[in-house]
Amino acid sequence: MKKALKILLALIVILLITAFFFRSKIQRLQFALTMFSGKEQVERFRSVEDYFPTRTIEASGTASPLTKGPFLRFPGRYEFNGEMKSTEQLLNETDVTGLMVMKNDTIYFENYYLGNTAGSHTIAWSVTKSFVSALMGIAIEEGFVKSIDQKVSDYLPEFNGSAYETITIKNLLQMSSGISWNEDYSDFNSDINRFGRTLALGGSFAKFTKTLTKDKEQGVYNRYNSSDTQVLGMIISKATNQSLSSYLEEKIWKPLGMENNAWWLVDDQGHEFAAAGLSASLRDYARFGLLYLNKGLWNGQRIISEDWINQSLNSDASHLLAGNNDASGSELGYGYQWWILDGDEGEYAALGIYNQIIYINPTHNVIIVKTSANNNYGTTNDESSFREFETFQLLREIVKDVREMR
């Protein structure tokens, strides 16, 4: 009996020691495994650096001013699929943490919820992809990347022999690589969930992407694929000889006068989670939207070329067009890591899971940013799509109210 007790105590001590030394990975795994389980995410989304390794992107020190206009009262209701819906209900159900409405550089609505403040940062998930697109445009303008027609292997020879070897940068930008991919968040074994567990378990993003296979020709089908953005990020980092974080800080964060630090998740090998790892404040996401609204100009300084902005917001092939499209996995159009809305006002958006949006309407010079932590997101595949279309209808109603503001 005494011997058995000693063995049990020894096992307990070993387990406690193991848990102590591997506590960060245990926390990360728990985070990843419960992301689409219905668990509340608000606190975790504003403190991702407590769960994952990150790089800090330093604020400029002197924040660029944003003008305050008269307070905008939201429409209480909006129409979606032939039914009148409640604005308050949508905001509550999607766990909104921040909401800002701007026309040009004037703020007409700014509010924070569920404990977030103007100084809070929250992970934007796939909104990050649009920042990566901007960095690629800058890298091309600076000559680090020669052309979007170059292949992955031109910059990443370690991808020789993989499905990504001959994929062009343009087809990565347009989510048209032809690489097999399942982005169903409600499916535990989907590629996107396996990708997330790679981060949680300390694996390598590069190693993961090399295991993927190809099931279509490139450039003929638009299929949302987070690994395409991950490879884009690797190309930018290799070509510039900088981390994505330092390149973002140097080329966008400080020139725009961002007022808060940001954080970018990295894997254990130090590579940024290019597909979804940026965490920043509401106002700084809005400044990024304003940069695009201004076609890459900021206080007279050219940050991104206007030509790149125009290319990024153009669905230049049939498989990228919005609407009922047999050659696309979405009813939204697609550009260079930006979603293009159907309609005649040139609307486009950066979208992230959990109902996070940077929405831009260039016809009326309106920017709307919404950070959220919709805990129901991904519990069913339907929740992952219809909420975005419903939210767009609310945003269009808001535009009607703000477009006449001076």
Residue 18 has pLDDT above 50, yes or no: no
- Mean pLDDT of the 121-134 span: 97
pLDDT tier for residue 9 given thresholds of 50, 70 and 90: low
Q: Is residue 280 part of a domain?
A: yes
The segment with the largest mean pLDDT, out of 21-30, 188-197, 274-283, is 274-283
Residue 172 one-letter amino acid: L
Domain assignment of residue 282, yes or no: yes
Which residues, 6+ apart, have CB-to-CB distance to 105 below 8 Å? Answer: 65, 66, 67, 290
Which neighbouring-strand residues pair with 361? 366
- Domain carrying residue 150: 34-402
Residue 36 is predicted with a pLDDT of 79
* Residue 142 confidence (pLDDT): 98
Whether residue 147 has pLDDT greater than 80 = yes
Q: How far is CA 144 from CA 71, 139, 240, in A?
A: 45, 5, 6
Average pLDDT over residues 311-325: 97
Q: Is 10 exposed, middle or buried (0-12, 13-18, 19+ CB in 10 A)?
A: exposed
Q: What is the pLDDT of residues 46-66, one digit of tens each?
A: 999 999 999 999 998 899 999
Decide if 183 is inside a domain: yes
- 18 located within any domain: no
> Could you report the per-residue pLDDT of 175-187, keeping only the tens digit for each?
999 999 998 888 8
Using an 8 Å Cβ cutoff, are 199 and 28 in contact? yes
76 lies in some domain? yes
Output the domain CATH number for residue 270. Answer: 3.40.710.10
Model confidence at 23: pLDDT above 60: no
Q: What's the pLDDT at 385?
A: 61
Average pLDDT over residues 239-268: 98
Q: What CA–CA distance (Å, rounded) separates 34 from 252? A: 33
Q: Which has the minimum average pLDDT: 18-27, 153-162, 194-203, 239-248?
A: 18-27
Closest by CA position to 335, among listed 317, 353, 323, 351: 317
Question: Using one digit for the tens of pLDDT, what is the confidence trace for 184-226?
Answer: 888 888 999 898 888 888 899 899 999 999 999 999 999 999 9
Query: Do the domain assignments include residue 233?
Result: yes
The angle at the Cα of 91, spanning 86 to 123, to the nearest 5 degrees, equals 160
Q: What is the pLDDT of residues 376-391, one digit of tens each?
A: 888 876 655 678 999 9
Q: Helices (DSSP H) in 56-127: which residue ranges?
A: 87-93
Number of domains observed in the structure of the chain: 1
Residue 358 lies in a domain: yes
40 in a domain, yes or no? yes
If 0-12 CB within 10 Å is exposed, 13-18 middle and 19+ buried, where does residue 200 land? buried
**What tokens appear for 253 in the block?**
């964060």
Reduced to 3 states (helix: H, G, I; strand: E, B; else coil), residue 358 is: strand
Q: How far apart are CA 74 and CA 368, in angstroms?
A: 12
